[in-house]
Structure 1
Amino acid sequence: MTDLDVLVVGPTSENLIVALDRLPRPEPHTVVAESSTTVLGGTSAGKALHLADQGVAAALLTTQGDDATGESLVAVLRACGVDVRAVRTSGPSERHLNLMSARGERVSIYLHAAAEVDDEEMRRARATAREALAHARAVFLDLADLSRALIPEVTALAREVWVDVHDYDGAEAYHRPFIEAADVVLMNGDRMTNPSVYLRGLVEGGKRLAVCTLGSRGAIAVGSDGSFARVEAPRVDVVDPNGAGDAFAAGVMAHALNLGGAASLTGDALWEALEAGSAQAVRALGSRQLSPLLEQAPPVS
């Protein structure tokens, strides 16, 4: 692989994880947490970590608040082998409260959203993206205002554009520029009525690959030639489900890079890519953090 295989653009956060027996009912009452811990979070941080875990040279372009938390998050990622290229914002770093049930259900509450990037930092972000895209074999855009602002550079320069639209319902306007820019679309089926039909429509419209994770029902994908593949969810003792979707996406992407790109994922190769994604998801499910790489890194402070 080249010195830079993938540029990942999107969020990094500090997450307060609160484990509950079940998610709270929508009425006033008191619950007792089973545990709570503060960890590194963010969908783009998760993808970059799991790409690095597979030996893929990943750079992460992400926002960083002007507080000690931001410095700590960047230091932890760099200690795990991720080339972080931080875009500075005024105010606190992005911070979430994740309520987790014993069944793996999650409610994510934004305590602090990432602040807006000012004009000077955005100019620097564009320059950083242009420099990285001159070398990277692919770019992964996650849903974030920073990523959305960089779509013109990405569509003009990237060799292959991957996007993760998460629980997209097929209609929300915010997601559309990401889908239009993409060569590869990944999503989950939480709010999609008929994901297989939607995936086929994406490929018929010119996408090289479309993938949907289905939680306990596994994952499905449609390749560039219209071939269809499905894998069952892996059987594993789940330690923490946070980051499993990002690990899955990183596993699929790494397999595609090894074969020359997403267009190569047809027939058996498409099924093998989903298997590779599932294997990487197991790495996340068996770790108490986004990635097992973080277990050897200094804690977020």
Structure 2
Amino acid sequence: MTPSPATQPPATDVLVLGGSGVDTIIHVPELPLPYADSYMIDSGIRTRAGQTGDFVALGLAALGLRTHHLDLVGDDPEGDLVRTLHREHGIGLTALPQPAGTRRAVNLVGPDGRRLSLYDTSRARPGDRFPPRTLRSLAAASRHIHVTITQPCAEALPLLTAAGVPLSTDLHDWDGENPYHEPFAHAADVVFLSAAALTDPERTLHRIAERGRARAVVATAGAEGAYLLSDGELTRVRAVSPPAPVVDSNGAGDAFAAAFLYGRLSGETPETCARYGAIAGAHACTVPASRAESIGRDELLERAAGPRP
């Protein structure tokens, strides 16, 4: 007997909302970059698809999760790169028209792998919205939804909350004060952010949990590991040694989030999820920014089963 639509399991493990785009990667001799009339870039200047939503989707798909991505994408060469990336990696993409064009950014990458991102904010309009019918349909078919903080995801939060599907978000380098990030922080069941701009990470994590509905809040801290707040208990997550030289930190936070969500959807403890995230984030730092490559499930589980530092 064929199950009725109401009893059929979700067709998608994770719906990723927003965050598609194209980056131009430039390796520079140092950061900050001193003023000069010109620089010779011997390593080349490369443009490839992949911003935060794309990288989370890639990481989830590489770990074997059924992944779908929804965003506004331009009818332009940059949009073609985004569509091709998803097609090559077998990731479903609902690309709605964006007349302002596909998002673009320039990443300056230093010799130590640190990066400085320059975002083109002209590739969005104040009235941008996801069609409610499309959003409801994709949400209903998903076990989990990861919401990036790009426009128009903020406008979608009330509908997503009403849908009753667990949510996650990444606040990136939030300073703990900017009010734009607060609706995302308070609506999500799992919140990721970087500790880079936080003066008191522990206080910020507790405040997110107290004011919102998050059951897990993670602040990544690079080589210092991460902070994990789960069910009111704060623990430190040890950093994982990269398996190869660090060449670029771009995408490390997205890889951490993808692996953490893989663990969560597999029924693992928050501590195990965070270890998965640390392993995936360390792996991402060894991948040149010009490549779209995520750690696979077998490799992740093999490293997670190995000795801990």
Band of TM-score, shorter chain: 0.7 to 0.9
Higher helix share: 1
**Which residue number corresponds to residue 58 of structure 2?**
49
Q: What stretches of structure 2 of length at least 5 have no aligned partner?
A: 1-8, 296-309
Deviation sequence 1:230-282 (CA, Å, 0-9, x none): 222433412332211100110001101111xxxxx6xxx22211110122223
1:132 aligns with 2:133: no
TM-score (norm 1): 0.86
Post-superposition offset of 1:290: 5.8
Residue 22 of structure 1: which of 15, 30, 36 is its match? 30
8 Å CA contact 1:88, 1:117 repeated in 2: no
Q: Deviations over 1:100-119 (max 9, x none)?
A: 10112211112464232867
Deviations 1:172-197 (A, max 9, x none): 01111111211211100111011122
Q: Deviations over 1:42-93 (max 9, x none)?
A: 1011100100000111111112012132123112212202111112111432
CA distance in 2, matches of 1:123, 1:105: 33
Kindly report the root-mean-square deviation, in angstroms, between the aligned alpha carbons of the 2 structures. 2.2
- Tell me the secondary structure at the aligned position of residue 281 of structure 1: helix
Equivalent positions of 1:47-86 (< 5 A) are 47-86=56-95
Distance 1:159 1:91, change over 3 A: closer
Give the gaps of 5 or more residues in structure 1.
260-264, 295-301
The verdict on how the C-alpha distance between 1:76 and 1:117 changes in structure 2, with shifts beyond 3 A counting, is farther
Identify if the C-alpha distance between structure 1 residues 233 and 279 changes in structure 2 by more than 3 Å, giving closer, same or farther.
closer
Task: Give the partner amino acid of 2:198.
Answer: M
Asked if 1:250 corresponds to 2:258, the answer is: yes
| Pair 1:229–1:271, CA change in 2 (3 A) | farther
Q: What does residue 235 of structure 2 align with?
A: 228
Partners of 1:50 and 1:291 within 8 A in 2: no
Could you say which residue in structure 2 is the equivalent of 1:276? 276
- Alpha-carbon distance in 2 for matches of 1:217, 1:113: 35
Change (3 A) 1:28 1:63: same
DSSP 3-state at the match of 1:276:
helix
* Percentage of identical aligned residues: 29
Q: Does structure 1 residue 5 correspond to structure 2 residue 6?
A: no
Q: TM-score, normalised by structure 2?
A: 0.84
Is the alpha carbon distance of 1:69 and 1:39 closer, same or farther for their aligned partners in structure 2, counting shifts above 3 Å?
same
CA distance in 2, matches of 1:194, 1:12: 31
One-letter amino acid of the counterpart of residue 292, structure 1 = E
1:109-162 Cα offsets, whole Å, 9 max, x none, are 12464232867xx363x2221011112111111111121121111111142111
Higher mean Cα deviation, 221-230 or 11-20? 221-230
Query: Could you say what secondary structure the match of 2:233 adopts?
Result: coil
- Structure 2 CA distance for aligned equivalents of residues 200 and 228 of structure 1: 12
Relative distance call for 1:225 and 1:38 in structure 2 (3 A) is same
SS in 2 for 1:175: helix
Aligned to 1:292: 293
Query: Structure 1 residues 72 and 31 mapped into 2: Cα distance closer, same or farther (>3 Å)?
Result: closer
